Structure 1
Amino acid sequence: MSFHTYRPWAEHLERQARHVRLLGYGQPGVHRANAAHVVVVGAGGLGCPALQVLAASGIGILTLIDDDEVERSNLARQTLYREGDIGRPKVVAAVDALKGLGPETTFQPCQVRLERENAAELFAGADLVVDTTDHWPTRFAVADACRAARIPLVWGSVLGWDALLTVFLPGPENPTLDDLVDREQQLTVEGPNCATAGVFAPLVAELGSAMAGEALRIVTGAGSPLAGTVRVTNGRTGRVREIPLAAADPTDTSSTTTAEPRSTNPAPSIRPDELIVDVRPAAHPDLELAHRYLHLPLETIAQRVAQGEIDDLPLDEPLVVACAQGPRARYASELLTEAGARAVRTLPGGIPALSALVDLETRN
């Protein structure tokens, strides 16, 4: 089922007049948006503002995927719905609200739960997918289907006072959702959600709109998407931090214990009571060191701090944070300090400086 109302192109350009005048966007951007097919998974707190912006910006085809119905507890943050919509399917109520915002848009509501088995079919013909869900099996199903079909994915998460935003582009050289979080942990341990932890409504609107902005930048070719970077927003302070995110390098052998020993390297100055925290992405192998060691990816630290799960972090002991080159370690140190760590420092020289400790383990 789809809904479409025809309007002359001149009227469409009048509606998009500010985009037409926008340097770097212009009529070409308006045309590209009108020709684009964007799929939005989830018509909840993030999906509502994302859909509003995309429809008002003249996206040609918007597919809405959600199997839920409107509840009264949704109304404070899911801004497409009203009291009269309670009990209605979200995708149907959303389309009714969106038709006036995007008269040139074709809306395709799909009242279905997206799963691994139907994701590829639901994404057929899409130029881009926006994942606004808060269910990890669904998130991984979306990410895997997009990667297989080489479809760009805009990904966001909001919980409590904190929000995460990034873009996953096709190609083996680009990071994936698995580089951001630990799949096994997310699928086996049920974490908090908005129903249990609450959520700051203005932050939901802010993030949903930002997700629509990423989608528009990609489909119109105007500007650069937030790929390879995770934007972390603190809703309590309004401050934003950007954390680099990279795909694990399959050719990188500097992090393995099978590399040729380099016994000429001096052992780094690490106190016996300090815990070495390796913040490289989860796909990198653990090190076997002659010292206390924990592989805790930067993305995991950021997520736990954002979700208030700081009890899972080693905050009560001295920490030495290391990464391959330095930037990730500095960001991780800031996050751990913010979370209340007793003592944190970064390791000069990073992971390569630990080779002497690897050698010691090899000789034992």
Structure 2
Amino acid sequence: MSSHSEQPSAEHLDRQARHVRLLGYGQPGVYRARTAKVTVVGAGGLGCPALQVLAASDVGELTIIDDDVVERSNLARQTLFRETDIGRPKVVAAMDALSRLRPEVTVLPRQVRLDAGNSEELLAWADVVIDTTDHWPTRFAVADACLALGVPLVWGSVVSWDGLLTVFAPGSGNPTLADLVDREQQLRAEAPNCATVGVFAPLVAEIGSAMAGEALRIVTGSGSPLVGVVRSWNGRTGRVRELPLAAQARATEQVPTANPNPNPNPNPNPNIRPEERILDVRPAAHPDLSINHKYTHLPLETIAEHVAQGRIELLPLDEPLVIACAQGPRARYAAELLAEAGAESVRTLPGGVPALTALFATPSSQALPTHAEEPR
């Protein structure tokens, strides 16, 4: 197999003609892509479109790490695979598909489960790593290894109708995965995944391709990667929003409002004030929580719809709110929307729903039913 260290041939440049003509990319970008080594962890819904775009863009060497086999339920969103691939290792089926797309591509299949013990060895030679997995121990193993190795990490996630994308770059001043989510809580809690709550297939293809774009920008030096910013997709409405990600995780994040409401009463629970309503903004597919406090399950998508359509009378704006979600960005976005709509007082809950379920484990007659306008 070629090491792709030679200058691109005329045939190669002809295939990449639109990149050659692209201002800021050009022939130097084509050459850099051809000599790049990209490792994709996970050959699933996000990994398949990412690999397809990278191979078509003539990235020189692609390493695929995955220990799974193709199942029929994968075929709706894992676009490299066909019926005839069912039962085959994903890394082998993906390698064959990419070779048909571009015969000279160098694909290194690694049919192994990446973990904390082998992550640095598996990722050591990559110029950039793309993590498309949905397993938190694997995600943190990848993030830790990239941080130790000084390798840029393109990180994405899709569950149900919601997606996230960001880039973690080497450097002490840059955010890490631990700034996006709480490590201990994510490792302790059983997170929802595509098998339990489903996934919108077009959103997977969109974000997987976007992850490939981030990797290409990094290896070609042709643009600014998404460092310090989390891009959030709402697949139900097609809207995309970008949220800042700080390098130091805050214990509490306050959203300024016109009428802040300090806590006048002592409370044995420092995270929740007695007068606050807990607003659970996870997707509608998540079950309501049974907790001993004022509670409403109002998905972020519903909040965004009401704000966009001017139906703010359907939002609980006249009482203090504490917003909870599974990871963080949804809660921050919801808090911003509610503050802009005129909420009396709104803040996000440190630790999100995992912390909430630990605090309130008993059924409650005070728990309110899911908001009547919530789409089911």
TM-score by length of 2: 0.72
Residue of structure 2 in register with 1:155 after alignment: 155
Give the C-alpha shift of residue 93 in structure 1. 0.5
Are the equivalent residues in 2 in contact too, given 1:232–1:242 (CA < 8 A)? yes
Cα distance in 2, alignment partners of residues 116 and 304 from structure 1: 32
Cα distance in 1, alignment partners of residues 20 and 104 from structure 2: 16
Q: 1:305 to 1:336 in 2, by over 3 A?
A: farther
Give the C-alpha shift of residue 269 in structure 1. 5.6
Among all aligned residue pairs of Structure 1 and Structure 2, give the percentage whose two residues are the same amino acid. 67
Q: 1:4 to 1:66 in 2, by over 3 A?
A: farther
Please state whether the residue corresponding to 2:100 is helix, strand or coil.
Answer: coil
Residue of structure 1 in register with 2:336 after alignment: 334
Superposed CA deviations along residues 175-200 of structure 1, whole A, max 9, x for unmatched, are 11001011111111111110000000
Are the equivalent residues in 2 in contact too, given 1:4–1:104 (CA < 8 A)? no
Residue of structure 1 in register with 2:131 after alignment: 131
Cα distance in 2, alignment partners of residues 225 and 307 from structure 1: 32
Residue of structure 1 in register with 2:261 after alignment: 270
Cα distance in 1, alignment partners of residues 281 and 150 from structure 2: 29
Code of the residue aligned with 1:294 in structure 2: it is: N
The reply on whether 1:232 has 2:258 as its aligned counterpart is no
Residue of structure 2 in register with 1:11 after alignment: 11
Cα distance in 1, alignment partners of residues 42 and 331 from structure 2: 34
Give the C-alpha shift of residue 28 in structure 1. 0.5
Superposed CA deviations along residues 127-163 of structure 1, whole A, max 9, x for unmatched, are 0000000000000000000000000000000000010
Please state whether the residue corresponding to 1:199 is helix, strand or coil.
Answer: coil
Cα distance in 2, alignment partners of residues 74 and 4 from structure 1: 32
Are the equivalent residues in 1 in contact too, given 2:98–2:105 (CA < 8 A)? no
Cα distance in 2, alignment partners of residues 81 and 7 from structure 1: 32
Unaligned 5+ segments in structure 2 are 253-258, 273-277, 297-318, 324-329, 348-376
Residue of structure 1 in register with 2:115 after alignment: 115
Please state whether the residue corresponding to 1:108 is helix, strand or coil.
Answer: strand
Give the C-alpha shift of residue 100 in structure 1. 2.5
Residue of structure 1 in register with 2:255 after alignment: none
Give the C-alpha shift of residue 330 in structure 1. 7.2
Cα distance in 2, alignment partners of residues 206 and 153 from structure 1: 18
Give the C-alpha shift of residue 305 in structure 1. 3.2
Cα distance in 1, alignment partners of residues 336 and 283 from structure 2: 13
Code of the residue aligned with 1:153 in structure 2: it is: L
Please state whether the residue corresponding to 2:30 is helix, strand or coil.
Answer: helix
Give the C-alpha shift of residue 171 in structure 1. 1.2
Q: 1:100 to 1:117 in 2, by over 3 A?
A: same
Residue of structure 2 in register with 1:318 after alignment: 320
TM-score by length of 1: 0.74
Are the equivalent residues in 2 in contact too, given 1:160–1:307 (CA < 8 A)? no
Give the C-alpha shift of residue 319 in structure 1. 2.6
Please state whether the residue corresponding to 1:100 is helix, strand or coil.
Answer: helix
Please state whether the residue corresponding to 1:210 is helix, strand or coil.
Answer: helix
Residue of structure 1 in register with 2:40 after alignment: 40
Q: What CA RMSD, in Å, does the superposition of the two structures yield over aligned residues?
A: 3.6
Residue of structure 2 in register with 1:263 after alignment: none
After superposition, where does 1:255-294 map in structure 2 within 5 Å?
270=261, 272=263, 293-294=270-271
Are the equivalent residues in 2 in contact too, given 1:156–1:164 (CA < 8 A)? yes
Residue of structure 1 in register with 2:165 after alignment: 165
Give the C-alpha shift of residue 223 in structure 1. 1.1
Are the equivalent residues in 2 in contact too, given 1:48–1:80 (CA < 8 A)? yes
Give the C-alpha shift of residue 24 in structure 1. 0.5
Q: 1:181 to 1:156 in 2, by over 3 A?
A: same
Give the C-alpha shift of residue 78 in structure 1. 0.4
Q: 1:337 to 1:315 in 2, by over 3 A?
A: farther
Code of the residue aligned with 2:150 in structure 1: it is: R
Q: 1:305 to 1:241 in 2, by over 3 A?
A: farther
Q: 1:135 to 1:177 in 2, by over 3 A?
A: same
The reply on whether 1:188 has 2:192 as its aligned counterpart is no
Code of the residue aligned with 1:152 in structure 2: it is: P
Cα distance in 2, alignment partners of residues 310 and 179 from structure 1: 27
Give the C-alpha shift of residue 9 in structure 1. 1.2
Q: 1:209 to 1:221 in 2, by over 3 A?
A: same
Q: 1:117 to 1:124 in 2, by over 3 A?
A: same
Residue of structure 1 in register with 2:76 after alignment: 76
After superposition, where does 1:185-264 map in structure 2 within 5 Å?
185-248=185-248
Report the count of equivalent residues.
305
Residue of structure 1 in register with 2:312 after alignment: none
Cα distance in 2, alignment partners of residues 151 and 54 from structure 1: 18
Please state whether the residue corresponding to 2:93 is helix, strand or coil.
Answer: helix
Residue of structure 2 in register with 1:351 after alignment: none
Give the C-alpha shift of residue 332 in structure 1. 4.9
After superposition, where does 1:14-25 map in structure 2 within 5 Å?
14-25=14-25
Unaligned 5+ segments in structure 1 are 256-267, 275-288, 296-300, 322-327, 348-364
Are the equivalent residues in 2 in contact too, given 1:175–1:248 (CA < 8 A)? yes
Cα distance in 1, alignment partners of residues 344 and 285 from structure 2: 19
Superposed CA deviations along residues 101-146 of structure 1, whole A, max 9, x for unmatched, are 2334211011111011111111121100000000000000000000
Residue of structure 2 in register with 1:305 after alignment: 282
Please state whether the residue corresponding to 1:80 is helix, strand or coil.
Answer: coil
Give the C-alpha shift of residue 344 in structure 1. 5.0
